[in-house]
């Protein structure tokens, strides 16, 4: 854990305090324990959890700089990534996690309860439904997603959820630049603008990583997101 703490500080200029370090240690042990029964994630070794889940999640701060969000929605969060690590980092963050798979949403609730994380709302539903719900539509400063869908489809999930002037982060691998180019038209239709493609290097991780950053510059037309399953079958 000491090396992870040092690497976090070096990469992101973030110094984790004792309480945050303890939270990450509890989180990783619970993830390993639940993984034995429920197969939440393919990454099972502690070292890989720290770098490929925790540190990878925390790289979202590179998109924010000094202006951290007050509210964040994490779409297709799985076992809580990147949302819960960001909540551990920023305890005052109002966090909403969207996960349609029951065992994963239960794990997220378990971690939130165990770590006594306040203002965490976990929704077990499809994002197409959430995006048309007035309670959530265009209500968030930022929307984030990791390993959910290609960017053309993902944009239809994320952009309707963010406020005018807010932003979305899609965490992508080596396909990030090509996906960003292909998704430009869809992003524009949805009221967004592709602002930045930020390369990310994580210590000990060979794979290329990118943060695709979208800003919301216009209201999303009421048509979007379309019904469940349609965005994936018929991308914009």
Question: pLDDT category, 150, cuts 50, 70, 90?
Answer: very high
Instruction: State the residue for tokens 């909540």.
Output: 87
Mean pLDDT of 178-204: 95
Model pLDDT, residue 41? 84
Structure confidence at residue 65 (pLDDT): 80
Residues 89-98 pLDDT 10s: 999 999 999 9
CA-based nearest residue to 59, from 206, 198, 204: 198
The most confident of 9-13, 62-66, 73-77, 143-147, by mean pLDDT: 73-77
pLDDT reported for residue 112: 97
pLDDT of residue 162: 97
Judge whether residue 66 has pLDDT over 90. no
pLDDT at 235 exceeding the cut of 90: yes
Tens digits of residue pLDDT in 96-134? 999 999 999 999 999 999 999 999 999 999 999 999 999
- Residue scoring higher pLDDT (220 or 205): 220
Please give the residue that has the higher pLDDT: either 67 or 184.
184
Rounded to the nearest integer, the mean pLDDT of the chain is: 94
C-alpha Rg value of the chain to the nearest Å: 17
Beta-bridge partners for 98? 75, 123
Long-range contacts, 61-67 (Cβ 8 Å, 24+):
61/12, 61/14, 61/86, 61/89, 62/12, 62/198, 62/200, 62/211, 63/167, 63/169, 63/196, 63/198, 63/211, 63/213, 64/142
Sign of CA dihedral 120, 79, 87, 116: positive
pTM of the predicted model, to two decimals? 0.95
What pLDDT, in 10s, does the model give residues 14-32?
Answer: 999 999 999 999 999 999 9
Q: Is the pLDDT of residue 147 over 80?
A: no
Percent of the chain residues topping a pLDDT of 70: 100
What percent of the chain is predicted at pLDDT more than 90?
87
Determine the CATH number of domain 2-233.
3.40.50.150
**Average pLDDT value for residue range 180-189:** 96
Task: Name which of 6-15, 83-92, 162-171 the model is least confident about.
Answer: 6-15
**pLDDT, position 181:** 94
């Amino acid at each position: 854990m000491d090396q992870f703490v040092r690497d976090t500080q070096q990469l992101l200029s973030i110094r984790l305090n004792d309480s945050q370090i303890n939270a990450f240690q509890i989180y990783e042990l619970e993830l390993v324990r639940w993984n034995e029964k429920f197969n939440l994630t393919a990454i099972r070794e502690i070292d890989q959890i720290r770098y490929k889940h925790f540190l990878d999640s925390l790289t979202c701060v590179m998109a924010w700089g000094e202006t951290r969000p007050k509210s964040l929605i994490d779409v297709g969060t799985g076992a809580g990534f990147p949302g819960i690590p960001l909540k551990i980092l920023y305890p005052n963050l109002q966090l909403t996690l969207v996960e349609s798979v029951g065992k994963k949403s239960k794990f997220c609730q378990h971690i939130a309860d165990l770590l006594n994380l306040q203002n965490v709302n976990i929704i077990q539903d499809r994002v197409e439904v959430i995006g048309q719900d007035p309670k959530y539509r265009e209500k968030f400063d930022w929307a984030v997603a990791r390993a959910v869908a290609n960017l053309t489809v993902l944009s239809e999930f994320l952009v309707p959820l963010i406020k005018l002037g807010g932003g979305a982060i899609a965490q992508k691998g080596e396909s990030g630049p090509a996906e960003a180019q292909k998704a430009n038209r869809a992003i524009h239709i949805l009221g967004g603008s592709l602002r930045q493609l930020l390369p990310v290097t994580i210590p000990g991780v060979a794979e290329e990583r990118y943060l695709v950053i979208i800003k919301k510059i216009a209201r999303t037309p009421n048509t979007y997101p379309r019904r469940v399953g349609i965005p994936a079958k018929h991308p914009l």
